[in-house]
Amino acid sequence: MMISSGSGCKDRIQYLKWTLTIFAPNKALFKLQEQNIVRNRKVTMPMTQQRATARAHPNIAFVKYWGNRNHALRLPSSPSLSMNLAGLHAETTVTWADELDEDIFTLNDQRMTGESLSRVSRHLDALRARLGIAKFAAVESHNNFPTGAGIASSAAAFAALTLAGTAAAGVSLDERELSAIARLGSGSAARSIPSGFVQWHAADQHEQSYAESIAPPDHWALVDVIAVVSQSHKAVGSTEGHRSAETSDLQGARVAGAAERLAICRQAILERDFTSLAEVVEHDSNLMHAVMMTSRPPLFYWQPASLLIMEKVRQWRAEGLRVCYTLDAGANVHCICVKDDADAVTQALGRLSEVQEVRTAGVGGGAVIIEHSLPT
Ligand code: PMV
């Protein structure tokens, strides 16, 4: 196997040990995989293929996830709440195949290597451990939105990978467990499994930290109008960012107030109360960026254009448009608005020379299987 060299091998075994602690019944499988990683041996089994394709949407958080209580298991420091983004998706096909002697990952028809492949392979390890599979997989993924458009692709990617990998194995897991497993690949992926408006629980145990829908997509016609101000790749990715959160003196205060902000946000969504929603969404985004900026070393994701748009959004709201802003680990500004005001917001953003591109997305559904074939 390709993954048997150097320190990557140790990391891989450490990760398998973690998955073993949460999926305890599969000890024999862990042994098999550990031997294969260490001794560079192939698994020989009868030739069969199991394949499934799943689709999942990215999501935008209204109450943010930033920082973990357990980094290996991506157990978040605080609960979060998001909306899935309709029209944007990752479509992923997983084929578990006897004839493979390593995992293969292609993204938008490009064969991936290095850290992208390792991250997918680690997630496949978790699926292998949970599903009792001792085969490698071919993973083919396509995003219908460009990277660098201000939309985090990892949430959709790991939600689709989890569902496709599970379905391809002929196993049907409930939504909670799918969400908890997706979380192991990328925390926010937990929120891309359920439909519509979604709450992700913070907990000390793997099984308890899953996301669930609080309202379906048609509950409230909100739109995310994304102002793209930078296409450049973020300097510090979220995995590293989550680790740095605890170095900020402000993280404790952010986490302490998270449950209350979530309750306010949840209530605002359930009551379709845009005024309350706008206040808590902007405040929560500002709090997360305050933590980022006061981490050591500091992380500055905002650019001058981001701040300008944030000010404009507040001005437009004062003038009557139902719009508020939120920013993830990047400079692009997500302008959350009610559908009736989405055109006006899009046009106003289009008039700003700092805005390179505007993309819109309504409220999306949950992850779904779109194709499934088991060996005959
Ligand atoms: O799932 P990750 O590790 O990419 O973290 C996502 C973090 C933010 O997008 C900044 C906030 C959030 O809750 O989505």
Phi, psi of 55 (to 5 degrees): -125, 135
Please, what are the domains in the chain?
Answer: 44-217 (3.30.230.10), 219-361 (3.30.70.890)
| CA 265 to each of CA 15, 82, 129, 278, 340: distance values in angstroms, whole numbers, following the listed order | 35, 10, 36, 9, 21
Q: How far is the CA of 237 from the centre of ligand 1 (A)?
A: 10
The atom of ligand 1 lying closest to the CA of 74 is 3
Using most ligand atoms within 8 A of CB, pick from 238, 300, 302 the residue to mutate for ligand 1. Answer: 238
The atom of ligand 1 lying closest to the CA of 154 is 4
Q: At what angle do helices 27-39 and 114-131 cross, to 10 degrees?
A: 150
Q: How far is the CA of 45 from the centre of ligand 1 (A)?
A: 39
CA atoms of 288 and 329, how far apart (whole Å): 9
Q: How far is the CA of 131 from the centre of ligand 1 (A)?
A: 27
Q: How far is the CA of 217 from the centre of ligand 1 (A)?
A: 21
CA atoms of 357 and 222, how far apart (whole Å): 20
The atom of ligand 1 lying closest to the CA of 65 is 13
Apex CA 210: angle with CA 209 and CA 211, to 5°?
Answer: 135
Q: How far is the CA of 48 from the centre of ligand 1 (A)?
A: 37
What is the reported pTM? 0.90
Instruction: Give average pLDDT by consecutive 10-residue segment, the chain, 376 residues.
Output: 38 63 56 46 52 98 98 98 98 97 97 96 98 96 81 93 97 97 98 98 98 98 96 81 97 98 98 98 98 97 97 98 97 97 98 96 98 72
Torsion of CA 164, 170, 176, 180, to 10 degrees: -60
Secondary element (H or E) of residue 234: none
Q: How far is the CA of 268 from the centre of ligand 1 (A)?
A: 22
Residues within 6 Å of ligand 1 by CB? 61, 64-66, 80, 152, 154-155, 186-188, 238-239, 242, 328-329
Q: How far is the CA of 236 from the centre of ligand 1 (A)?
A: 12
Tell me if the bond preceding 297 is cis, omega within 30° of 0.
yes
State residue 225's pLDDT score.
98
Residue type present at position 153: S
State residue 20's pLDDT score.
60
Burial (Cβ within 10 Å: 0-12, 13-18, ≥19) of residue 228: buried
- Pair type for strands 136-143 and 104-107: parallel
Q: How far is the CA of 65 from the centre of ligand 1 (A)?
A: 6
The atom of ligand 1 lying closest to the CA of 186 is 1
Apex CA 231: angle with CA 94 and CA 246, to 5°?
Answer: 75
If you take atom 6 of ligand 1, which residue's CA is the nearest one?
188
Q: How far is the CA of 69 from the centre of ligand 1 (A)?
A: 15
Write the CB contacts of 79 (distance below 8 Å, at least 6 apart in sequence). 63, 199, 200, 201, 202, 258, 259, 262
> In whole angstroms, how large is the CA radius of gyration of the chain?
21
Using most ligand atoms within 8 A of CB, pick from 57, 62, 63, 66 the residue to mutate for ligand 1. Answer: 66
Q: Across the strands, what pairs with 198? A: 82, 213
Q: How far is the CA of 211 from the centre of ligand 1 (A)?
A: 14
State residue 237's pLDDT score.
87
The atom of ligand 1 lying closest to the CA of 189 is 1
The atom of ligand 1 lying closest to the CA of 155 is 1
Apex CA 186: angle with CA 160 and CA 41, to 5°?
Answer: 80
Report helix, strand and coil shares of the chain as percent, to nearest 5.
45, 20, 35
Using most ligand atoms within 8 A of CB, pick from 57, 65, 224 the residue to mutate for ligand 1. Answer: 65
Q: How far is CA 54 from the centre of its chain?
A: 15
